[in-house]
Structure 1
Amino acid sequence: MTTTDFLVLPPRPDSTAHLLAESARRAGLVVEQLTGPVVPDRLRHAAGAHLYGGPVFAGAVADDLGLALLEPDDDWLVRLPHAFTHREIALTTLGEARWSRTPMFVKPPRDKNLPAAVYADGSRLPGVDSLPADTAVLVSDIVTFLVEYRLFVLDGIVHDGSRYAYHGRLDPMPLDTCAHRAAVLAFAAELLDACAESLPSAVVVDVGLVSDPDRAEEHWAVVEANMAWFSSSYAADPDRVLDVVRRAAGPCDRLTPRDQAFIRPAR
């Protein structure tokens, strides 16, 4: 059994996992890359586990590692005031969405079991042979994001961030070097001041600049919120990203009372 905090990675770590592994070693953590979704006896119920990896992997190993996995509520985006979203959003099922005959943007609220995309109508969504009708999905109006940013939030404050898309194309850039930095942080501060209590203490929030051609206006809006333990860091500082990840997927015995409602197994 280990007595040192350690970071657990999946069998096939992505680029963010490699960056976090380097940061973890600098911070004095041991890095453990598992060969599969089974926790070795020497790590089972060991003190000080943290994790970065996908939902299936995390769900398989969380109990044996004694992890509390934090994530936002499925309907968090739906409950936001329109001033923060600038579009209509509904949480429904894939079965209901298949009946729609109008264009719509569809994405899963957390698990990446469905490509987030614009669908011409519900008939273009995966059939019942691919995903069951009761699969939860978020359905929203189609909007155009001119630029999008990923913000790693810790205790209601932006801990670090990165631009990740420009005109719909992947284009990472550190937040500190972006022309929109002040506007992004101002919008984030307003958002988090209004609804920080509806999010776990460690979370990722994506925001972007929406173009409204009908009114010739642009607005900052929330894209989505995600679990920090399965979010690409893009060009954010991996040391600061690791701070958020460690809180978002850390030992159950370090869980704060306010985060109890955001534990993944409880949902």
Structure 2
Amino acid sequence: MPGRRTSTMELLGAEATGRGMAVQAAEEVSAAAGPAYWYGGPVAGARLAGRLGFALLEPADDWLAELPEEFTGRPVRTATVLDAWAIDRPTFVKPPRDKSFPADVYADGSGLSSDLDPATPVLLSDVVTFAAEYRLFLLDGQIAAGSRYAVFGRLDPHPLDRHGHIAAEIAEFVDRLVAATGPTLPSAVVVDVGQLLDTYRPGYRWAVMEANMAWFSHAYAADPARVLNVVLRAAGPREDVKPSDLPFVRP
């Protein structure tokens, strides 16, 4: 882990220590005494992966844009920062994975920094309203851990297992998603879903917000033991990577 810890890092570190694993700051690692795993940012992770022998699993940049609208609930397309600079109406703009700039609704392209690399990939989508947002840690296509993290865009973490009917609705939605698109995701990954409000009538529908790397995702109120199980698969020894996960290994 990085030396500067977040609350998720502290929770996962405590859980890993309880399992007999050594938790070290990335800056202090000279060589791995055994199998190495990673939780932290992509830059440091990529720098250490070759030397310590771990592989980082991540979804493809265009995964969300390639989903049927049945699962996204709104049009989503892949583009570049150069394209985003040209937008002339309110649009939700986000980097697919690396958080190179804030994901947000931009009134037009002038709101994006001019210092960005024009070739940086982005996702563009219509502006919609999510009543609530949930983070799901998936392992082999099943929900291993989950948490609500926001309500109407404001941070409001709450354990998923305390929302009985909501948890059941999410599980049914994820089952359909995995059945339709399972091979397009690594076996250990984070998928955020939300209650997308219907524009024309009362009520909501479930929709995918994005997919992320489990080794770089905040746990919010999810069970840290279950989150760690997903992280260990998502950023563990290269020799343990399943053949089906090889296309998802970060170069």
Interval of TM-score (by shorter of Structure 1 and Structure 2): over 0.9
User: How big is the alpha-carbon RMSD for the aligned residues of Structure 1 and Structure 2?
Assistant: 1.1
What is the DSSP-based 3-state SS (H/G/I as helix, E as strand, rest coil) of the residue aligned with 1:260? helix
Give CA deviations for 1:108-143 in whole Å, capped at 9, x if unaligned.
00111110000001121111xx21111110011111
Alignment match of 1:94 (pick from 74, 81, 92): 81
Q: Does 2:238 align with 1:255?
A: no
Aligned equivalents of 2:54, 2:245: Cα separation in 1: 13
**Structure-2 separation of matches of 1:261 and 1:48:** 21
The TM-score, its normalising length taken from structure 2, stands at 0.97
Deviation at 1:64, TM superposition (A): 0.7
Please, which of 141, 144, 149 is the counterpart of residue 126 of structure 2? 141
1:226 partnered with 2:183 = no
Deviation sequence 1:59-89 (CA, Å, 0-9, x none)? 1111111011000000000111101001111
| Aligned residue pairs, count | 250
Deviation at 1:28, TM superposition (A): 1.6
Residue 146 of structure 1 aligns to a residue whose secondary structure is strand
> Contact 1:163–1:178 at 8 Å: present in 2 too?
no
- What secondary structure does 1:97 align onto? helix
Secondary structure, aligned partner of 1:31 = coil
- 1:60 is aligned to 47
Aligned partners of 1:193 and 1:49: how far apart in 2? 32
SS of 2:87's partner is: coil
Measure how far apart 1:217 and its partner are: 4.0
Answer whether contact 1:91 1:139 (CA < 8 A) is retained: yes
Structure 1 unpaired stretches of 5+: 1-8
1:4 paired residue number: none
Structure 2 unmatched runs, 5+? none
What residue in structure 2 maps to residue 35 of structure 1?
Answer: 27
**Corresponding residue of 1:6:** none
Per the TM alignment, residue 33 of structure 1 is displaced from its structure 2 partner at its CA by: 1.5
Q: Distance in 2 between matches of 1:192 and 1:172?
A: 25
Give % identity. 52
SS at match of 2:55: strand
The answer as to 2:113 corresponding to 1:152 is no
**Selected match of 1:171 from 127, 134, 156:** 156
With structure 1 as the length reference, what TM-score do the two structures score?
A: 0.91
Give runs of aligned pairs for residues 141-220 of structure 1, distance below 5 A: 141-179=126-164, 180-220=166-206
Instruction: Compute the displacement of 1:34 (Å).
Output: 2.5
| Contact 1:47–1:251 (Cα < 8 Å) also in 2 | no
Distance, in Å, in 1 between the alignment partners of 2:99 and 2:245 is: 23
Higher strand share: 1
* 1:132 counterpart = 2:117: yes
CA distance in 1, matches of 2:54, 2:102: 28
CA distance in 1, matches of 2:119, 2:10: 35
Distance 1:216 1:133 in 2: 40
SS in 2 for 1:50: coil
State yes or no: 1:11 paired with 2:11.
no
Query: Match of 2:89, as an amino acid?
Result: T
Whether 1:245 aligns to 2:231 is yes
Letter in 1 for 2:25: Q
CA distance in 2, matches of 1:28, 1:186: 36
1:216 Cα deviation (Å)? 3.4
